[in-house]
Structure 1
Amino acid sequence: MNTAPRTSTLHEGRLTASGVILLLVVASFGSLLLSLAPQGRWVLGTFALGSGIAATALMGAAAVLSARWSWVESAFGGLDRVYAVHKWLGVWALVFASVHLVLKSGDPSWQVAAIVQLPGGAARLVRQLSFVAVMVIVLLALNRAIPYRVWRWWHKLSGPLFLLVVLHWLSFRSPIALGSPAGLWLALLSLLGVVAAAYKLLLYPLLARHAEYRVESVSTNATSAYLELLPEGRAIAFEPGQFAFVSFKREGLREPHPYTIASAGGADGRIAFMVRALGDYTARLVKELQPGVVADVYASFGRFSRRPDGRTEIWIAGGVGITPFLAWLEDPASATQAPVTLFNFITPGRELPERLDLTALAARRGVELVEVTTGPGTPSFRAHFARIVAQAGPAGVQVSACGPKGLLAEVRRLMRETGVPDDALRHELFEFR
């Protein structure tokens, strides 16, 4: 998605993709083994049928994660982590669905029956269509070449397509009874998935936290825009560093896109966003958006709020990843006694709009600003980072990073070289899909 960086988070102690996938797969195979007679458990058909149960469970969980429920975001530590796990749930669902399709899910020792009887060859047709549904959902999620405006509408089919998967396991002749451990497990994940998909497709625009804002000012240059919006009625509460989904009520700009909030809020409830012209939509937005346009703002999401704890802080921003740090700098809480250094990696020709004076903002908050126009491998940057660590001690440093994967990888490497523990890093996942 070619927009501002999306959500951020503290990830320590939160659910991870590998942990969730392992839990769902083990529970799927475990419930099946408990549902089978001892003599029919350890056969190849068990692996095939268990793979089908696992694929269904993974898809149901993926639907739950896509609903943007606040309790789900809290469990994973931020919506960026939620969507990363959501992607891998889909990938592994396709893997297990493929195994289920290729292998025979049966054994002569099993007593089989369908929970729901379908006429004629309908059950076989549903089986084939359910696999196609899984494949379509995953390919849509992973294909970054699809324009967002197209991807968004096709991805809305995920919920209805999941119903095909549910109908398949209900109509497939298998040893799973609805009241068995495997039947109850499938029913639970299917119900949660269907409810979540229905909520996201039908109820989210009505029930999710949102408010109407009007664009008050637009400051642009050739590559970016700084937007300030005022609420038409009530304002949405947020913390600096969080993000929102924004849909501008103007032809060609109605697609809801996520943008990191670039302001700390104020008495008038204003909210600001920094947008880079990185794709067709954002280029049009930077070029065409004018004051007076009304927007629906869905907020707030993300966990990249600043948490000073007395340690020396190192902030590292790459490109549009400067956005949450703009909000931190505007926040009066940024003026702390602990030293703060902001490394801002910029590409010449992609400077901030004139409305934003980063140097003055940093000076006002007592933050040391270091502009880097080359890259994270620059000796001067690495030396400066090492000096800060040497002065504060590896345990006395807190690192906050927002930027592309390559930058984050270099930051991790530099932390290891200087002895800074891994849990001192707080970062966002820069890509949303």
Structure 2
Amino acid sequence: MVFILSSFIALLTLAWGLAASVDGGGGASLPWLIREQALYLSGVLGIGLMSLAMVLATRPAALERPLGGMDRIFRLHKWAGILAAVFAALHWLIEMSDDLLESAFGKTGQVPEAHFGALLENLRDAGEELGEFAIYLVLGMIILSLWKRFPYKFWRYLHRAMPVLYLLLAFHAAVLAPPDYWARPIGWLMGGLLAAGAAASVLALTGRIGRDRRVSGVVSSVASPAPDITEVTCRLDAGWKGHRAGQFAFIGFDRIEGAHPFTIASADRGDQTVTFEIKALGDYTRRLATRVAVGQPVTVEGPYGRFVLERQDRNARQIWIAGGIGITPFLSWLDALRAAPDSAAQAELHYSTRNASHDPFVERLQRLCGRLPSVELHIHDTSAGATLTPEQLAASLPQAGRTEVWFCGPRPFGDQLEAGLAAIWGRRLRFRREAFEMR
């Protein structure tokens, strides 16, 4: 992710630099010239990154392979949006700095004001007003996105306003960009990004995101294996093309509420059925058990993701680690391996749970792994003090060669394991994880 964003920012900066190098500045003094070019650069970076975020918000399945999965696309979308807001805020601050420069250097040496026809002048005035208004709202949206205590159900509705705000900012960028930009690489690049971002906004506003991967179905069973777990099985229409073990999908029970992403916890048996194990982690999921009934219509969009069994490195030791509801992709893996137990790779499966005696997945894991001799199950009951640590894993494989760790669970837990194992095993470690954060 860091490489992609850095490369994207570098490309935009290079295009701006090429344009700035041929701009004589019209006799402006250095402080005012620096302000003008900083204003342009911050604007280019802000709207460029926001265009990227808008395109990634359309859930482009074609980019899953090069970008590593839809979970990473969501993470890239999030950070592109955050950086866009940072540069937008910087752009606004630079715009407001004219009074400070006047007090320090006087009005002498200001960049000569360009004059345009009446129509373009009116458009530029409108673009400036709308852009300032949209920047305030975008900054507020980013703050709410980062404030985890802000209820997700409200955040989702506010987030739907982003395409409109983007279109306002795209208009601002198009009419206020220097006219000579459009005859240079910076203009060609910005034109393409603005067109792509506008198209993505239209897709979002018309409800067409993911439509070609969306199928209808009905709820065939609902169960509560534990007070905070709702198990929902859906029978889907013929449009469902199946899934690979470990993928996720967006499931919607209510048109107003919209769809939410959950990992598919069952293998693809070719019978158009999918099962989800949904943990009560918020208002929506806590009420789900009482709001879903057998026979209820459902829509499922997907599948997405590359946290899949087929991507294992057969020449590396396999360690699978799950924390809490992060066990769901591994349930799907084990379910898929039941059909061909002899093909299962040697693996250690570590499941960390808060209370093993009350965890409905423990017995299921024991049953599934009992039929797969090559998968060695380890249950870590944190209520009994059995916390999984990097040192424990390293001690169990003192002579480890190349090792591939697959992790799904709470991010702090994953960060601790990844950092600890990397320090012990170094380049012998490949740590794969599901970056499953939708906000």
Counterpart of 1:426 in structure 2 is: 432
Alpha-carbon distance between aligned partners in 2 of 1:162 and 1:22, rounded to the nearest angstrom: 22
- 2:24 maps to a residue whose letter is Q
Alpha-carbon distance between aligned partners in 2 of 1:382 and 1:375, rounded to the nearest angstrom: 19
Alpha-carbon distance between aligned partners in 1 of 2:220 and 2:187, rounded to the nearest angstrom: 55
Q: Secondary structure at the match of 1:291?
A: coil
Counterpart of 2:240 in structure 1 is: 235
Counterpart of 1:398 in structure 2 is: 404
Alpha-carbon distance between aligned partners in 1 of 2:131 and 2:280, rounded to the nearest angstrom: 44
Judge conservation of contact 1:241–1:303 (CA < 8 Å) in 2.
yes
- The one-character-per-residue Cα deviations of 1:56-80 (angstroms, maximum 9, x if unpaired) are 1011111011010112333311111
Taking structure 1 as reference, are residues 280 and 352 closer, same or farther at Cα in structure 2, changes over 3 Å only? same
Judge conservation of contact 2:52–2:197 (CA < 8 Å) in 1.
yes
Pick the aligned partner of 1:39 from 8, 20, 24. 24
Q: Secondary structure at the match of 2:129?
A: helix
1:189-208 map, 5 Å: 189-204=193-208, 207-208=211-212
Taking structure 1 as reference, are residues 386 and 119 closer, same or farther at Cα in structure 2, changes over 3 Å only? closer
Counterpart of 2:284 in structure 1 is: 281
Q: Secondary structure at the match of 1:265?
A: coil
Q: Secondary structure at the match of 2:241?
A: coil
- The one-character-per-residue Cα deviations of 1:36-64 (angstroms, maximum 9, x if unpaired) are 43533973321221111110101111101
Alpha-carbon distance between aligned partners in 2 of 1:143 and 1:381, rounded to the nearest angstrom: 29
Runs of 4+ in 1 over 6 A off after TM superposition: none
Flag structure 1 segments of 5+ consecutive residues without an equivalent: 1-15
Give the TM-score taking structure 1 as reference length. Answer: 0.86
Counterpart of 1:164 in structure 2 is: 168
Deviation at 1:276, TM superposition (A): 0.6
Deviation at 1:349, TM superposition (A): 7.5
- 1:179 maps to a residue whose letter is A
Deviation at 1:138, TM superposition (A): 2.3
Taking structure 1 as reference, are residues 386 and 162 closer, same or farther at Cα in structure 2, changes over 3 Å only? same
Counterpart of 1:266 in structure 2 is: 269
Counterpart of 2:91 in structure 1 is: 100
Alpha-carbon distance between aligned partners in 1 of 2:74 and 2:317, rounded to the nearest angstrom: 31
Judge conservation of contact 2:356–2:381 (CA < 8 Å) in 1.
no
Counterpart of 1:290 in structure 2 is: 293
Give the TM-score taking structure 2 as reference length. Answer: 0.85
Alpha-carbon distance between aligned partners in 1 of 2:279 and 2:59, rounded to the nearest angstrom: 25
How many residue pairs get aligned? The number is 413
Deviating more after overlay: 43-52 vs 121-130 = 121-130
Alpha-carbon distance between aligned partners in 2 of 1:312 and 1:287, rounded to the nearest angstrom: 43
Pick the aligned partner of 1:411 from 417, 421, 439. 417
Deviation at 1:362, TM superposition (A): 1.1
What is the percentage of aligned positions where both structures have the same residue? 28
Counterpart of 1:184 in structure 2 is: 188
Q: Secondary structure at the match of 1:278?
A: coil
1:2-401 map, 5 Å: 16=1, 18-36=2-20, 37-40=22-25, 43-104=34-95, 108=110, 112=114, 116-118=120-122, 121-172=125-176, 174=178, 176-204=180-208, 207-220=211-224, 221-249=226-254, 254-306=257-309, 307-308=311-312, 309-332=314-337, 333=340, 335-336=342-343, 338-348=345-355, 351-353=358-360, 357-366=364-373, 367-374=375-382, 378=386, 384-390=392-398, 393-395=400-402, 397-401=403-407
Alpha-carbon distance between aligned partners in 2 of 1:232 and 1:87, rounded to the nearest angstrom: 33
Highest relative contact order (Cα 8 Å, sep 6+), 1 or 2?
Answer: 1
Alpha-carbon distance between aligned partners in 2 of 1:77 and 1:113, rounded to the nearest angstrom: 48
- 2:353 maps to a residue whose letter is I
Alpha-carbon distance between aligned partners in 2 of 1:197 and 1:334, rounded to the nearest angstrom: 47
Taking structure 1 as reference, are residues 133 and 183 closer, same or farther at Cα in structure 2, changes over 3 Å only? farther
Q: Secondary structure at the match of 2:278?
A: strand
Flag structure 2 segments of 5+ consecutive residues without an equivalent: 99-108
Alpha-carbon distance between aligned partners in 1 of 2:344 and 2:171, rounded to the nearest angstrom: 61
Q: Secondary structure at the match of 1:225?
A: strand
Alpha-carbon distance between aligned partners in 2 of 1:303 and 1:369, rounded to the nearest angstrom: 23
- The one-character-per-residue Cα deviations of 1:306-329 (angstroms, maximum 9, x if unpaired) are 134143311100000000000000
Judge conservation of contact 1:216–1:292 (CA < 8 Å) in 2.
yes
Deviation at 1:108, TM superposition (A): 4.3
